[in-house]
Amino acid sequence: MSDKSEGVALEISGLSFHYGVKPALTNVGFMAKAGKFKVLLGPNGAGKTTLFSLITRLFDSPTGNIKINGFDLRGDTLRALARIGVVFQAPTLDLDLSVRQNLMYHSALHGMDKVDAQARIHSELARLNMVERSNEKVRELNGGHRRRVEIARALMHRPKLLLLDEPTVGLDVPTRRDIVEHVHQLARDDGMAVLWATHLIDEISEDDEVMILHRGRVRADGDLSDVIEAAGAVSISSAFDTLIQGEFE
C-alpha cells in the first residue's frame, strides 16, 4: 500500500496538552513537508519535548489531530509510527552493545530482513563516517559519535519523517556543525521531512522553515525570511526575541 500523502509528512491541528491543570501546549497546528528541514525553535520549557512525546505516541491528547503521511496517529497508529524516525534528547542506546548490535536490534524491531539490515547499517554508517567503529561498544564512543549512531538508527527503516529533539545538546561546536549539515543533507537528498527542535539560533539555515514555540503556543510558522519579516525584524535572532517577549510577556 502506498502512502496516502506524498507531500506532507506531518500534519497537526488543534493539539493541546496539560500536565494536571498546567497547560503545556495550546491549540498547536502546523505541517512538515517532504524534503524540507523545519526548525522547531523555542526556549527551554516551551513545549518542544511534550510535542515530540505526542507525535511519537508516548503521550496522548484528547484534543487535536496528528497525521503522519496521511495516516491518523490515533486511528492508524502502527502505520503512522512506522513512518517516523526519532532521535530523542536523552540518549537511548544500549551502552554494552556494539554499534552494529544496536542497529541490528532496531532493524529487527521493524521486521527488516537480516541481509537488508546489514546493507542499511553499512550505508548509514558510511554516510556518517562511522563504518570503522561498527564493532566498538557504544560506551567507548564520545558524545558526538553516539549521536551519529542514533541518527543512523533512526534512518534504518527509511522513515518519511525524522524527528530530532535538541540532538546537539552537550556537543562541541565542530561536532554540532557536522551533525546539523548532515541532517540538512538528508532532507535535500532523500526527500525526507525533518523536524529539528532546538533553542540554538545558529542551527538554522537560510532555506529552512521555522516554527517558534513559546509557552506552548505557536508564535510564528513559515519560511525563515517570512518569519523575520512578520516580526518586523532584521534577523531570526531579533525576531525570536520579539516573538517570545513582546506582547506575550
Nine-digit cell at 124? 548509514
Q: How far apart are CA 237 and CA 93, in angstroms?
A: 34
pLDDT in tens, 115-150: 999 999 999 999 899 999 999 999 999 999 999 999
pLDDT in tens, 87-124: 998 889 999 999 999 999 999 988 899 999 999 999 99
3-state secondary structure at position 37: strand
Q: Global pTM?
A: 0.91
Nine-digit cell at 27? 491549540
**Which residues are CB-contacts of 157 (< 8 A; sequence separation ≥ 6)?**
82, 85, 106, 107, 110, 112
Smallest CA-to-CA distance from 11 within 23, 36, 28 is with: 28
Q: 50 and 25 in contact (C-beta within 8 Å)?
A: yes
Query: What DSSP state is assigned to residue 248?
Result: G
Smallest CA-to-CA distance from 161 within 7, 2, 13, 28 is with: 7
Which H or E run includes 213? strand 209-214
pLDDT in tens, 144-196: 999 999 999 999 999 999 999 999 988 889 999 999 999 999 999 999 999 99
Count of beta carbons in the 10 Å neighbourhood of residue 136: 15
Count of beta carbons in the 10 Å neighbourhood of residue 212: 24
